[in-house]
Amino acid sequence: MPILARLVSFYEKRGIQISTGLNPSHFSNYPFAPFTWFISEGKSLTNGLGISLQEIYFLECLFARFHPRRPFVIGNSAGWSTLALALANPSATVLAIDAGFDAHSLEGIDFTNGVAKEEGLRVCVVKGVSPMDVGDIVRGHGTEPIDFAFIDGMHTVEQVEKDFDAIRAIASSDCVYLFHDVEAWNLHEGIERIAAKTGLAWHLLLGTSSGMVIMHDGEAPPPWLADISPFQAHSVALDLIRDSAWSHRHRNLALWRRRLRERLPKFH
């Protein structure tokens, strides 16, 4: 069941306009155009944008067969991804934390909890800093063990690993981890460190706007993996598209090279 219309309504009926899914090529290749903007009186409310329209669709595909009971979120901001998880998993109890460092993120905690109460969603957002507060907050809210984690906090290699370690300590053995902004913020080294020490399998999802990574038990591929496989790009396609992108950016040079090849004598 699509969740987008109801998710948008949570904001717009409370006076916050939503923009999401815009094509960056229509905005001078601005890389943040596809993500979700929260707008009031013509200004962006936060400096932490929400996951994109394409990533909302990814969640719908992921949770078509995978139904976690105790999702956990690091990085709530304005509540967009937290509320999306609740809509996609109506029988789950979603717990989220936010450090409150970004603009209006403390107000975002109150906003998200207020929406959840008014709309009948099982959501609780708490002010907390990862990694030090994760264990106490999860245990204090009775949501241990975590079976799905969405990690979207500070975007550094070191912090990604710290966030994972904190969750792993109170997670089930088959917990699924979803990391936002891995490609966009070059967080691959953190993912590789985690995989090396845990043996978990991971997949880079270049079909998502931020280049998310999903990580799961490496010994038993889950059946829902097939539902999100289109978000993984084939290596042949990547080579082709990168070559095409180079030719597009340097089309005059590419044209000159092609004409030069046509004029050069052919040796047999």
Residue 263, pLDDT score: 67
- Condensed to tens digits (0 to 9), the pLDDT of residues 61-83 reads 999 999 999 999 999 999 999 99
Distance CA 46, CA 226 (A): 35
> For 4-231, CATH number?
3.40.50.150
Domain residue ranges of the chain, discontinuous segments joined by +: 4-231, 235-268
For residue 252, what pLDDT is reported?
A: 60
DSSP assigned state of 229: G
Cα–Cα distance, 62 to 232 (Å, whole number) = 13
The low-confidence residues of the chain, meaning pLDDT below 50, are: 267-268
The confidence score (pLDDT) of residue 221 equals: 87
Q: Which CA distances in Å does 232 have to 59, 73, 93, 209, 229? A: 14, 23, 29, 12, 5
Q: What is the pLDDT of residue 256?
A: 60
Q: Would you state the pLDDT for residue 267?
A: 45
Do residues 137 and 96 make contact, with C-beta atoms less than 8 angstroms apart? no
Pairing of strands 71-74, 146-151: parallel
Phi-psi region for residue 17, left (φ > 0), alpha (ψ -120 to 50) or beta? beta
Chain segment 162-200, per-residue pLDDT in tens: 999 999 999 999 999 999 999 999 999 999 999 999 999
